A and B are shown apart, each in its own frame.
Chain A
Amino acid sequence: MKHLRAVNQKARRIQEHIENDVVAMQGPQGPAAQRPHVPMGCSIVFSPGWEVDSSGGTAGLCQPVERDLYDCYISCYWPAQVPDHMNNYPDWTAKCAAATKDWRNIDLVFP
């Protein structure tokens, strides 16, 4: 609204009230939907396996969930739900390249 200028008190109040002037339909409308509170990310959620999706459910997870297994520490550096590949158990998946197919070959780890 840079082409319009508030000239009286009411107009100036409206201008102060509206931070974003005109927003096209593509923009987010209304208040953001409430999202589930997942404390500390996926680290302490053990149902159904080790994480939930952003809506608190499981429909948004990789299917089967094993597809997502290795990404827990490749992109998250988050060793809580899987053995600590970085420091203590570097070989726990040495016999399992494709987790979906070979998950039975994953080593048991006893911390």
Chain B
Amino acid sequence: MTPEIGHYAVALAFVLSIAQGAIPLWGAHRNNSLLMNFAAPAARFQFIFVLLAFVCLVVSFIESDFSVALVAQNSHTLKPLIYKISGVWGNHEGSMLLWILILAFFGVLVGELGTNLPSSLRARVLSVQGLIGAGFIAFLLFTSNPFLRLDPSPVQGSGLNPLLQDPGLAFHPPFLYLGYVGFSMAFSFAIAALIEGRVDPAWARWVRPWTLVAWTSLTIGIALGSWWAYYELGWGGWWFWDPVENASFLPWLLGTALLHSALVLEKRDTLKSWTILLSILAFGASLLGTFLVRSGVLTSVHTFATDPERGVFILLLFVIVLGGGLLLYSLRARSLQGGGLFAPVSREAALVLNNLFLATAFAVVLVGTLYPLVLDALDAGKVSVGAPFFNATFVPLMIPLLIACPLGAKMAWKRGDLRGALARLKAAFASAIIVLAVALFLDDDRSILAACALGIAAWLMVGASLDFLEKIGVSRRSTGEVYRRLVNVPRSFLGATTAHFALGVMVAGITVSSVWQIERIQIMQPGEKIEIAGYNVIFDGTRQINGPNYSALQGSFSVYRGQDAITILLPEKRSYPAENSTTTEAAIHTNFYSDLYVVLGDADGKGGWATRIYFNPLVPWIWAGAIMMALGGMLSLTDRRLRIGAPKRSLVHSNAALPQDR
């Protein structure tokens, strides 16, 4: 019965989404407040129905109801509960339902929290959300129904791919979808603004929190996926420029550009056309990712079950939503003119440069990802575009961006003083040079590139710190004043500074772990000792153990530093009988600035075992940096000014709408 309720709920949601899409839009056109006010309740009920459907699906998974085809294909009674639940979105149909749930959730949030928006704008935003929702629900209902039944129902399910039975990967999709779908808010706002014919700083301020939520979630989602790859795949790699990874990175790049561009729009009422374009393209990139992953045009570990028929439906959605949005943009772009001027050296200019490099990076990753597909479609041959290409092209594009970051932060709006900014960053520059010199000195290979990268990391980290210290008035004001400023520092400033600092942390982590990784691959007999990076690792032997739905061969490695026992590492080779596959689990010891990483290999038949031991210096800083960046986003989100929001035209508030310095 539960699956039927779920199915019916989705159908109801479909009808509601169409109504939500059409009625308020018409109401806004006619300035009919009754019709416009239909939006929020419609969004509310659409969300309730979609939530009901989702809950029904989750219940089916938890109860291991194998009469539901999806549950039979993706679950098993012996699977731990948390993976029964995460199995709901570990497949195409369930993840589509999650996507739709999040879409409806954002809709209801706008309905409930967007009371300070002008009613016509809110109505239009919800309408566009509704229309997008209708498209995706139609896709679900007609090509990817999660509630299809099996008759007779099997006694046991096929289980979930063991690779997905993992905490990191269980939560990777929800965060990703919050990000992808979150950008639909910026899209809806942009379309609504284009229809209204008005884009102004108030609009930018309304859009900012939604973009921040999307961007922060996407950052976390990508970081989770990358971290999972690191500890699961067994050789310490964490980014492969796989087409599906790129598909998640593309909206992130545009989202970052959008955050910065919207800032310029908000403060200086310029870059309107570009910001609207970015809002449309960011969600377009999300849709592109959906298409690439679910249509069968790519072969990748990440893709879901491929089906060209589904591909056609998603392609249509892609063309209608993105094409429609861009068409409206092209027709209305003329009316988005005007705004503040700025000098070639100014904060606006720095942010424009930021956008230029981010947009170019986006375009390069896009071209590299789609190129093999394009050539194959034109029957012009098969090529591979892999990590070597992306590393050679993406990294150089990031360097000017990273160098400009602390400089831009120090510039004034409208007309900046480059010399002054450099003077105030003296300490950051000095640190960069010192770090560069030390790195060159300590490195046996004298790698110039690595040393420069570390110099840039220091430049970013010290630069952000200097920014913060200057803001709270250290060395210029009295201690009391500094303390008062510290307590009252605007959250959005704190958020941005944290994120820029985090960027430096990530660059350091990426550089050091890539260049100075130590690898020891050998056959070890029980009792043998290996020395690596000052650690002594002794192989104690292996034994069989059992887990809830797997059996494993577990190796034991005692780790010492000199005489001190540090830890015992227990890597495993697991065998999942239900799914008939095996995984290798690495054992990692981290002290948060380096990782000792041990993997058990195959037996050599003579009592010895192949072992791989890695020392990954500073690799935890990669994830730490990502988390810090997300934290920065969250801090910005809690800024008081975003909650109060810009007032309606008829009222004048004293503090809320005054443009303060960041």
Q: Is the A/B pair a real complex?
A: no
Spell out B's residues near A (CB within 8 Å): none
